[in-house]
Chain A
Amino acid sequence: MTTSTCTHDLVLFGSDEELIDTVAPFVADGVAAGDRVLVHGDPGQLGALHEAVSGPGVESGGAGYATPIATLSGYQRLCDAETASGRGVRAIAPIPVGSSPAARADWTRYEALVARALGPYRFAGLCLYDTRVTPPELIERARDVHRHFRGPTGLRPNAHARPDLEVLRDIDGAHPWPPPPPDARTALAADLPAGAGPVAMSTPRHAVREALRDGGLPHERAQEYLAAISEVLTNALQHGRGPVQIRLLTSDDRWWCTVTDHGSGIDDPYTGIDSPLPGNPGAAGTGLWVARQLCDHLTINNTPSGASVVLHQQA
């Protein structure tokens, strides 16, 4: 690894031997290059691998892979912290299968975002899929989002790979985050007029805080949601154009907050994904990046009249 090339290879394995033969040289190369080498995964399932590759310079990854967005931003932080040292980061990890179609779709979304999110960094990832237990349709999706396979004999190109953006569009089409049901209660409807300055922002923020109080979200989740909404609101006031509308809906223990502005829209589908951290020479904005990490999911829709950002949160 030399400059900021980010690689992200697919490992399909059917036995411990195959896995170890694939991963061990990759780990050894990383250690020799002085990279940080992290091996994730449950030692109960990947015990043989951990045992085979453990040694000086190899870290056993603990947490991580809880949610796709936390995993992505976690790697961004890790890589960014190493930019000063010049060290690269190598990560070897099984991708969580997910317990529901929505969760599975979200991990595919993660895979399709890796190349962009970690693009500025010296990152090399191996995504491990055990063909013995992974449903075939997930293997198929994994083939969609990796440029290369890695096996015991090294790297080979993946002719099945599709453009990331196309995959993301397909996932969003097939597995949209559930919209509010027709009988969802409107907890707040507030408008900020065109020309409203940042001073005007505290009023809807206080209204959101009030609406979330005793609304079923645990205190910490409500605080995070409020912070996420506030960042999106700031963004709409700074980059969009008024009037800015805020709609907060709830049904059971789910919440939807839609912030709509009347600016030129948010064209970049990677908004809030690109790293705002100082090691990224093209550092992006921080607000939506943080907002994505503070709520369950954030959807950006462009309408003919502006941008509409939906923040989802569930108790």
Chain B
Amino acid sequence: MAEEEVASAYAAAPEDGHQLLVTEEDGEEDLARWAERGLARGDKLLVAADERHPDGAALVETLTRHGLAAAGAARDGRIEVVAAARFYNAEGYEQLVEQSLRDGHGGVRSFGGPHIAAGVLDPAGFAEFERLLGRLWASRGASALCCYPGVRDETLDEAIRRHRSGWRHRLLHLHDRGHGRLDVHGEIDSSNDELFAALLAAATHRVSTGTDTEPLPGKRRVHEPESDPSGTEVHGRRRLLVLDCTGLTFSSVSGWRATVAGTEAFRAGGGRVALTGLHPLAVRLLHMTGFAAAFDLPETGGGNRR
């Protein structure tokens, strides 16, 4: 594959893929933004039916309330609420995806979660279904946002490991680009700093074991361990994580502390963490607090302005 193709596919990926949504709320706002992205791309949107959205009309009402022109999209057959029994059935789901692509939609994206699947699949069955979603992203470019309400501790770790493309939580979105590169978007404060640390811990573990690279949609695998372009791989284990903070518009001190904590094990094992795209205030805060010592920072942008 030409490098430009790889780059453009990855560039498109932050908003797409097989993603985890961690939420303490109902996830409605996130569903709306996910749908907005889908409508803009010409995707077909498949939403697993639950109590709030038992049918298309309820979903259209919700999306309209969030400012989307959902009624027209529904008329065009671009929005569909799917009964849980059909959605959470491997064969049924694959058929939905194939049918949507045959119907000429630009792509497919779905929205569901374990609380909806609970009536249909046991935990092992749901885990298998999540693997299917990962495969369908890789092979068919079908995106899926999996909403895990109130998930924490070991269940959270498990949920993080299941999703390869990225993780969302209200203001925060972490996108795993593979090849030891993570993009962080949004804001970190005391509402999501612990989650951020957990996400980084999972991501760095994935990096150090070389299991962080997902195949691109509809293409063959691009990652071949022996041809790592960054040259940071040692005996098949990458030692460098690049955390691109260009999209990080705010981080509290606790957010930077979480960055230190979440990468602790990786760094203790000899890994290095490079922070790129930092805003000047972030550089200043990192130097001010001494957290800078844990990371590779760009040379420019002096932290001791005063």
Residues of A within 8 A of B (CB): 63, 66-67, 70, 73-74, 77, 80-81, 197-199, 201-202, 205, 220, 223-224, 226-227, 230-231, 234, 237-238, 276-278, 286-287, 290, 293
Contact = CB atoms under 8 A, between A and B. Distances in A.
A226 B280 CA distance: 14
Interface stretch (B77-85, B135-143, B186-194, B232-240): B186-194
A278 B189 contact: no
A56 B306 CA distance: 27
B191 A198 contact: yes
A286 B189 contact: no
Most central of A197, A276, A278, A290 by chain B CB within 10 Å: A290
Interface residues of B, number: 22
A230 B189 CA distance: 9
A230 B193 CA distance: 14
A201 B191 contact: yes
Given A220-B281, A231-B253, A277-B290, A74 B189 contact: no
Contacts of A237: 190
Given A202-B171, A202-B187, A234-B189, A74 B304 contact: yes
24 contacts: A66-B306, A67-B306, A197-B191, A198-B189, A201-B190, A201-B191, A205-B189, A223-B279, A223-B281, A227-B250, A227-B281, A227-B285, A231-B252, A234-B189, A234-B190, A237-B190, A238-B190, A276-B289, A277-B289, A278-B290, A286-B253, A286-B289, A287-B253, A290-B253
B62 interface: no
B288 A230 contact: no
Given A201-B191, A234-B189, A286 B306 contact: no
Given A80-B290, A237-B190, A287-B254, 6 more contacts: A63-B304, A198-B191, A199-B191, A202-B191, A227-B281, A286-B289
Interface string B154-172: 0000000000000000110
A202 B253 contact: no
Nearest to A291: B253
Given A66-B306, A74-B304, A277-B290, A290 B285 contact: yes
Interface string B236-276: 00000000000000101110010000000000000000000
Most buried by A among B279, B280, B284, B288: B288
B19 to A, nearest CB: 20
Contacts of B189: 198, 201-202, 205, 230, 234
A153 to B, nearest CB: 37
Contacts of B250: 205, 226-227, 230
A55 to B, nearest CB: 26
A65 to B, nearest CB: 10
Contacts of A205: 189, 250
A196 to B, nearest CB: 11
A197 B170 CA distance: 14
A265 to B, nearest CB: 21
A234 B280 contact: no
Given A220-B280, A224-B281, A286-B257, A293 B288 contact: yes
A81 B292 CA distance: 12
Contacts of B281: 220, 223-224, 227
A286 to B, nearest CB: 5
Contacts of A230: 189, 250, 252
Chain A CB within 10 Å, residue with most, of B257, B279, B306: B306
Contacts of A80: 290
A80 B257 CA distance: 17
B24 interface: yes
A255 B11 CA distance: 41
Contacts of B253: 231, 286-287, 290
A173 to B, nearest CB: 27
Interface in B172-199: 187, 189-191
Nearest to A73: B288
Contacts of A63: 304, 306
A195 B119 CA distance: 34
B24 A199 contact: yes
A234 B254 contact: yes
Contacts of A201: 189-191
Contacts of A70: 306
A293 B171 CA distance: 26
B281 to A, nearest CB: 5
B194 to A, nearest CB: 10
Contacts of A199: 24, 170, 191
Contacts of A238: 190
Contacts of B284: 224
Nearest to A234: B190
Contacts of A223: 279-281
Contact of B288 (A66, A202, A220, A290): A290
Contacts of B252: 227, 230-231, 234, 287
Contacts of A220: 280-281
Contacts of B290: 77, 80-81, 277-278
A77 B190 CA distance: 25
Nearest to B190: A198
Nearest to B189: A201
Contacts of B24: 199
Contacts of A81: 290
A81 B190 CA distance: 27
A70 B254 CA distance: 21
Contacts of B171: 202
Pairs A-B, 3 closest by C-beta atoms: A198-B191, A198-B190, A70-B306
Contacts of A277: 289-290
A226 B284 CA distance: 14
